[in-house]
Amino acid sequence: MYIFADQISKVALANNNLRIELHQQGADNETPEAGTIILPVNQANKFLNDLANGLKALNDQVKARNEQSQA
């Protein structure tokens, strides 16, 4: 399943689950809901660290490509 989201609109903890509500930027400044990520709270730290590390690696790759194209 693919979810396209422009923003995180709400983060909440309920019933030992972390809920991250995602929204899209719609027409006329509307923000329809795109979906909700629900993570068991005991898995949330690992999930978020893995996501952050993946984004950092991707950012490093983009920087390296930009440096190569400028050289």
Give the pLDDT confidence of 12-45 residue by residue, as tens digits. Answer: 999 999 999 999 998 888 999 999 999 999 999 9
Q: Is the pLDDT of residue 1 over 90?
A: no
Number of neighbouring beta carbons within 10 Å of residue 18: 19
What confidence category does residue 53 fall into, taking pLDDT thresholds of 50, 70 and 90? very high
Q: Which two tokens stand for residue 61?
A: 């790759």
Mean pLDDT of 49-59: 97
**H helix or E strand, kind and range, residue 43:** helix 41-70
Region 46-71: mean pLDDT is 94
Spell out the domains of the chain, with CATH numbers in brackets: 7-70 (3.10.450)
The structure's pTM equals 0.77
Q: Distance between CA atoms of 59 and 70, rounded to whole angstroms?
A: 17
